[in-house]
Amino acid sequence: MQHRARKRFGQNFLTDSSVVSRIVNTIAPMADQLILEIGPGQAALTWPLADSGAELVLLEIDRDLASRLTTQFAARDNVRVCTGDALKMDFAELTGGRAFRLVGNLPYNISTPLLFHVLQWGTLIDDMHFMLQKEVVNRMAASPGGKTWGRLSLMCQYHCAVTPLFDVPPSAFSPAPKVESAIVRLVPHPRPPVQIEDFRSFEKVVGQAFSQRRKTLRNSLRSMIDAADMESAGIDPGARPETLGLAEFALLSGILESKEQ
């Protein structure tokens, strides 16, 4: 039976076989690897991934699609289907604590919380390849100083090297999304590029600074950090958050952490 795409699950299925081949060639799956696919849907990427001989764990929220996948891949002993919400999943449990590669044409309506969720398992993940809205990929890969630099760029780049790979037009999907898409590769850093003692302080400072991105740091961080302390750390309290890089936010989180102790 034909599946009707469910908007609430962000279902835009890939139908362009040349785009599917390009994505899978870029991922280059190998037989000895464990790959977790988020949102396999109608299995456009899943079939070629499974054909590589890699061990596949499929995580799908839509029960109808999950049951169809279970039937379709019943004869493949390298494929396991799990039904559930990726936002609530313990990925270490799903993969038995083994190192894995993560792939997914992600549901665009939850892409940012999903990225934050998966980054928690960075130490277990070899690499990630995602299809996302192009605008989101631009923010993930942005550099300080521009309009797209913000919380998402800082969080992704603290954990990973971010490489935008190629764009995918709406015509490659059914139903066609209203926006351009892009493929991005994330490779977790073996060691973080800056030292952050308390990640929660970092998240707090970044979240607060960018919640009012037109305000100066002096104003937006007033309730957390004194302007004098910023100056002593070499940070201009009159600066706007988009001009600061990872290293400066690490310094600010260090000040906050020392205050809260």
Helix (H) or strand (E) holding 51: helix 46-51
Beta carbon nearer to ligand SAM, 119 or 239: 119
Select from 12-20, 140-148, 152-160, 213-221 the region that touches ligand SAM (CB under 6 A): 12-20
Does residue number 229 form part of the binding site for ligand SAM (CB under 6 A)? no
- In 84-238, DSSP assigns E strands to 100-105, 125-133, 160-168, 173-174, 181-188
Classified as helix, coil or strand, 139 is helix
Q: Of 29, 107, 241, 254, which one interacts with ligand SAM (CB under 6 A)? A: 107
Beta carbon nearer to ligand SAM, 19 or 221: 19
Question: x/- string (CB under 6 A) for ligand SAM, residues 17-56?
Answer: ---------------------xxxxx-xx-----------
Q: Of 35, 50, 65, 125, which one interacts with ligand SAM (CB under 6 A)? A: 65
Classified as helix, coil or strand, 36 is strand
163 forms beta bridges with 185
State which residue has the least CB distance to ligand SAM.
39
247: exposed, middle or buried (C-beta count within 10 Å: 0-12, 13-18, 19+)?
exposed
Beta carbon nearer to ligand SAM, 38 or 205: 38
**Residues 6+ away with beta carbon under 8 Å from 167:** 134, 180, 181, 182
- Nearest C-alpha neighbor of 175 from the set 2, 15, 20, 8: 15
Does residue number 257 form part of the binding site for ligand SAM (CB under 6 A)? no
Which positions touch ligand SAM (CB under 6 A)?
Answer: 9-14, 38-42, 44-45, 59-62, 65, 85-87, 105, 107, 110
